[in-house]
Amino acid sequence: MCFDAKFLRGKRAGEYQQKGKFVHKGDNIILVDGENSGEVFTVPCDGYMGSTFKQLWVSSAMHLPYVLNFILFYKELLRKSKRGAAIPHLNKEIFYSLIIGIPPYREQQRISARINKLSQLFK
């Protein structure tokens, strides 16, 4: 299976392919090219990610939903700071310099649970 943004958003069927960077179900990948660069997806099944993605690695000292909430918080900054004229790319300098506070792991869990609960109120 080859993953592209339209497939991961549920807008079309996946294409079967056996080349590129292999990723596993549950891995997180970030869109680095195009209008929506900075968007993060969780891989729904084993397969190959498209060339417009990079695998998102998060340290085991960090609670993944906590980090993903920060990336979502910075979504507009990432969109507005893209580089390139023909195909805009995620500005890696800005991405790597994002400031994310690192409280103890249990506090990260508490914060992300609270954010998720509050976000449900806005839907």
For 107, phi and psi rounded to 5 degrees? Answer: -70, -35
| Residue 94 CA: distances (Å) to CA of 43, 69, 91, 116 | 24, 17, 6, 25
Contact 21, 48 (CB under 8 A): yes
Tens digit of each residue's pLDDT (9 = 90 or more) over 87-114: 788 888 998 898 888 999 999 999 999 9
Please tell me the predicted confidence (pLDDT) of residue 38.
Answer: 86
Provide the whole-model pTM: 0.76
Average pLDDT over residues 61-68: 93
